[in-house]
Structure 1
Amino acid sequence: MGQVVTRSAAWLTLVIAILCGLKPDIIKTGAVAWLLLAALLLVLLQLVPLPPAVWTLLPGRGPFLESALGAPPWRPWAIVPWATMNAASSLIVPVVTLYLLSVLDDDERERLPGILLGMVFLSTLLGLWQFCGFSFNHPLVNDTDGSVSSIFANRNHFALFLAIGCLVAPVWAFSGLQGRHWRAPVAFALVTLFALTILATGSRSGILTGLLAIGMGLMFSWRDIRHAFRRAPRWAFPVLVAAIIGIIALLVLISIAADRAESINRAFELDPGEDMRRRGLPTVLAMIGAYFPAGTGFGSFDPMFRIYEPLGLLKRTYFNHAHNDFLEILLDGGLPALVLLLVALGWYIRASTRAWRADPAYYGLARLGSGILLLILVASVFDYPARTPIFMAIIVIAAIWLGQGASRIALRR
């Protein structure tokens, strides 16, 4: 039901924006708009009916052809068309996000890090409510009772959201010339809160993304902190860094001692979900080989996996995704999806290289966008966060930050 509400709200927002006369400036979005358009066209292309002579040439279609009665009908590229239609429908969220971002002015775009940080903080409060033992069953999300997942159905997604908060906080603290004297301690408190909440989620991938986010956050704010201590004694800055690291380490140790660091505990235990991903990997790889280079169609993993699922993997719950989005994209979209993915990664690497070589005082948002996308890429090796609406929107925001910064750097050269 959450998908119905989210997509309906996205369509309603798009209609209102058009009626209000908000004209999108696609030039501002750069390559992001073209990549999103290519992704949408690829999904829609899988829904185009193909004649039987063409459809039978696609790999893995033999068993479905044999089950047909009478003359073979025209069929789409996607083996499970309704699932691919659902995948195409989900892209309304990033499309509307791109539309709205293209009509914002510079002052409005500079407020986005603070808004995103506020969203992470409110989500953290709900997660802490669950951690304290209070039951919260999301009416629109099929979450797991007793899991610290906040507004998400998956603890790994919540942990990634918290890691993004750890990355955004330092940039928000030192952006602009006003409010730095109070923003810096608030940002430090938020990073500490987010880090401890990641430990409470029980997400092992969250530990990796959280550490990566904190490390990148220190890189982002290192120059600003040094500048703030330019008139202080030389020993003040290293003492501050040591104190920050010591406080965070102490709080982590206290959480472990109080048996509140669920992520640390699960790191030394055999997790049934992780075991299922490991045992299901050979089947996923076999499916990729059977349907490559055409793929099975976006959104079709669940019904297609049931066809290949061995008896040894049968259980009361179902294996909804490959829990490795790179492999699932390859399975769903085949060679065309692989090419598009490589093009997108190539653009990301090129734009990130420009952003990280430039002056952080002017291109902080570009680096922030690069860092957020890196966190999502890392998390996608273990799960499927980019398939959720909120991360679809965040990916578009981060990509536009990165793309605009890289374009300005290229123009200045």
Structure 2
Amino acid sequence: MISVEPAADSKDQNGRAVFSVLVGLLAATFLFGGASRGDVQSLALLRPMSAIILVVALFLALRQAWKRQWQPVALGLGVVLLTVVHLVPLAPSLWQGLPGRETIVDVFTATGQPLPWLPVSVAPLTTWNAFFALMGPMAALLLALALPDRYLPTLLKILLAIGLVSALVGLFQSIGPSNGPFYFYRITNNGTAVGLFSNRNHQAIFLATLFPMLAAFAAMSEGRPNRVRAQRVLAVAVGAFLVPLLLVTGSRAGLLLGVVGLFSCLWVYRAPSSEKKAVVPVKDRRRMAMVMAMVGGVGLLGLLTVLAARAPAFQRLVEMDTNEDLRLRALPTIWDATWSYFPVGSGIGSFVEAYNIVEPQALLSPNYLNHAHNDVLEVAMVGGLPAMILMLLFALMAALASWRLVRAKLRAKRSVFDQRDRAIIIGRAGLVAMMILAIASIADYPLRTPSLAVAMMVFVAFVVSGWRAASSPPPAT
């Protein structure tokens, strides 16, 4: 008789190893990768760590991730390949004929220098930075896709814990001095609740993704009735705590996406249909009353925080600062630049330099435009037609996943959720979080932040798990 225990034990050990490495990557990225700038000092620690973890992920997770769902892996490899192609040196006879390179040719001609070999990118150094920035998200994608489904609920709780830490840091920032010790980045939105990030919009967007995660956390509660009720009340309490902290970030986009996240809970959360409505003992009712009092206290604390900070998000709903005016005025120029560099693009990561080439005199100011604040348009500008195709493929996969998860039905009669039901619930939460980040990218650049890019890869893995589970019908019993 052949024993299969060693093989099963080996798989379990590999699952634990993948989970441990992924958690380490999440912790390191949220600790050191809360800013989108390429000159942040903490990247000197994060980039080598991401490189090491990527090598580990290639050995531990690549085969399993590809076998489980090859499409997201292929899409990620396509992004990496496009970045590499933009770094390959070309002969002068090739690159000078590319669209948008006329100014570069004129500079060399005016200075009497021969045309050198140059890559597609008009700013190779920033393209190299973009290439290195892809290491963390690629490692997270491989590890998360290779992770067995039984680890996903724990991974969801870890993301919630990270979000709660960021929210608490934001609370200390909102009640402390504007240049206090809880601001971790030199260039940041001082005086607002940015949490573990340098940008208030990114903190608000991340908090918005936590609402569907909390709904999934509450739906998957199991055990004794007291424990189930406590977990659901905890989810409500954390949600109540996050709402005012979302307001004091001062982010209008985050405020609107927070509303999306809250309403999505109605779709994500599902209670067991056969749950018994037994009479709650007096002792348990007293405990529940105490818990609800704590929830009310948390809500009151949040309200006081909003009043103390004067809810800058509401103030900014009717105000427009100089930087926002510049972004809106620059959009037509960026649109024209997209087609002037089409179809090859200006080079991944080269927005600042490529925009400076075409920037009109009327838009010159002491401030520079670090991003288009419309990542869809910026990706099209720097990546050209290949990047547009990759975005369309991602949108198509997201649409197919949405269709399947919307139509998925949970088991009809259940006292607790089985593995298939859990995967569908987590997939729905991941889909909403992924869509929040995608919608935010229309008016911002959240995925340029390493921590949110890594979180996005985890959300993709959640969706894949739900996609696979929804492909099979629920059990008859």
TM-score by length of 2: 0.77
The worse-fitting range, judged by mean Cα deviation, of 285-294 and 257-266 is 257-266
Q: CA separation in 2, counterparts of 1:109 and 1:93?
A: 19
Counterpart residue number, 1:386: 447
Q: CA separation in 2, counterparts of 1:172 and 1:75?
A: 51
Structure 1 residue 103: Cα displacement: 4.3
Written as runs of structure 1 = structure 2, the 5 A alignment for 1:11-410 is: 11-15=51-55, 24-25=63-64, 26-68=66-108, 69-134=112-177, 135-136=180-181, 138-140=183-185, 142-178=187-223, 179-221=227-269, 223-224=270-271, 260-360=310-410, 362=421, 363-410=424-471
- Going from structure 1 to structure 2, the CA distance change for 1:63 and 1:5 (only over 3 Å counts) comes to same
The worse-fitting range, judged by mean Cα deviation, of 41-50 and 341-350 is 41-50
Q: Secondary structure at the match of 1:294?
A: coil
Structure 1 residue 57: Cα displacement: 2.3
Contact in 2 for aligned 1:373/1:395 (Cα 8 Å): yes
Q: CA separation in 2, counterparts of 1:405 and 1:219?
A: 14
Contact in 2 for aligned 1:30/1:403 (Cα 8 Å): no
- Going from structure 1 to structure 2, the CA distance change for 1:286 and 1:127 (only over 3 Å counts) comes to same
- Going from structure 1 to structure 2, the CA distance change for 1:226 and 1:209 (only over 3 Å counts) comes to farther
Contact in 1 for aligned 2:122/2:353 (Cα 8 Å): no
- Going from structure 1 to structure 2, the CA distance change for 1:253 and 1:110 (only over 3 Å counts) comes to closer
Contact in 1 for aligned 2:173/2:192 (Cα 8 Å): yes
- Going from structure 1 to structure 2, the CA distance change for 1:212 and 1:290 (only over 3 Å counts) comes to same
Higher CA-based Rg: 2
TM-score by length of 1: 0.88
Q: Which digits, 9 at most, give the CA deviation of each residue in 1:119-172, with x for residues without a partner?
A: 000000100001002313645553233232111111000001111112211111
Structure 1 residue 301: Cα displacement: 1.0
- Going from structure 1 to structure 2, the CA distance change for 1:384 and 1:22 (only over 3 Å counts) comes to closer
Structure 1 residue 84: Cα displacement: 0.8
Q: Which digits, 9 at most, give the CA deviation of each residue in 1:235-289, with x for residues without a partner?
A: xxxxxxxx9xxx8999998777666311111101123332121111122112112
Q: CA separation in 2, counterparts of 1:208 and 1:227?
A: 35
The worse-fitting range, judged by mean Cα deviation, of 347-356 and 64-73 is 64-73
- Going from structure 1 to structure 2, the CA distance change for 1:188 and 1:57 (only over 3 Å counts) comes to same
Structure 1 residue 77: Cα displacement: 1.0
Q: CA separation in 1, counterparts of 2:61 and 2:242?
A: 36
Counterpart residue number, 1:239: none
Count of equivalent residues: 401
Q: CA RMSD in A?
A: 2.9
Q: Secondary structure at the match of 1:224?
A: coil
- Going from structure 1 to structure 2, the CA distance change for 1:138 and 1:254 (only over 3 Å counts) comes to closer
Q: CA separation in 2, counterparts of 1:182 and 1:137?
A: 31
Q: CA separation in 2, counterparts of 1:105 and 1:319?
A: 43
Contact in 1 for aligned 2:245/2:302 (Cα 8 Å): no
Q: Secondary structure at the match of 1:75?
A: coil
Structure 1 residue 318: Cα displacement: 1.8
Contact in 2 for aligned 1:174/1:180 (Cα 8 Å): no
Q: 1:289 corresponds to which letter in structure 2?
A: W
Structure 1 residue 51: Cα displacement: 2.3
Q: Which digits, 9 at most, give the CA deviation of each residue in 1:197-236, with x for residues without a partner?
A: 1110100001111000000012212x3187658568xxxx
Q: 1:266 corresponds to which letter in structure 2?
A: R
For the pair 1:5 / 2:45, whether they are aligned, the reply is: yes
- Going from structure 1 to structure 2, the CA distance change for 1:284 and 1:265 (only over 3 Å counts) comes to same
Q: 1:406 corresponds to which letter in structure 2?
A: W
Q: 1:60 corresponds to which letter in structure 2?
A: G
Q: CA separation in 2, counterparts of 1:293 and 1:304?
A: 15
The worse-fitting range, judged by mean Cα deviation, of 102-111 and 187-196 is 102-111
The worse-fitting range, judged by mean Cα deviation, of 298-307 and 205-214 is 298-307
Structure 1 residue 99: Cα displacement: 3.1
Structure 1 residue 376: Cα displacement: 0.4
Q: CA separation in 2, counterparts of 1:339 and 1:17?
A: 27
The worse-fitting range, judged by mean Cα deviation, of 299-308 and 345-354 is 299-308
Contact in 2 for aligned 1:301/1:328 (Cα 8 Å): yes
Contact in 1 for aligned 2:210/2:433 (Cα 8 Å): no
The worse-fitting range, judged by mean Cα deviation, of 199-208 and 287-296 is 287-296
Contact in 2 for aligned 1:166/1:214 (Cα 8 Å): yes
Q: Which digits, 9 at most, give the CA deviation of each residue in 1:32-76, with x for residues without a partner?
A: 111101111111111112222222221111111122244422221
The worse-fitting range, judged by mean Cα deviation, of 273-282 and 120-129 is 273-282
- Going from structure 1 to structure 2, the CA distance change for 1:49 and 1:204 (only over 3 Å counts) comes to same
Contact in 2 for aligned 1:297/1:332 (Cα 8 Å): yes
Q: List alignment gaps of at least 5 residues for structure 1.
A: 233-242
- Going from structure 1 to structure 2, the CA distance change for 1:45 and 1:23 (only over 3 Å counts) comes to closer
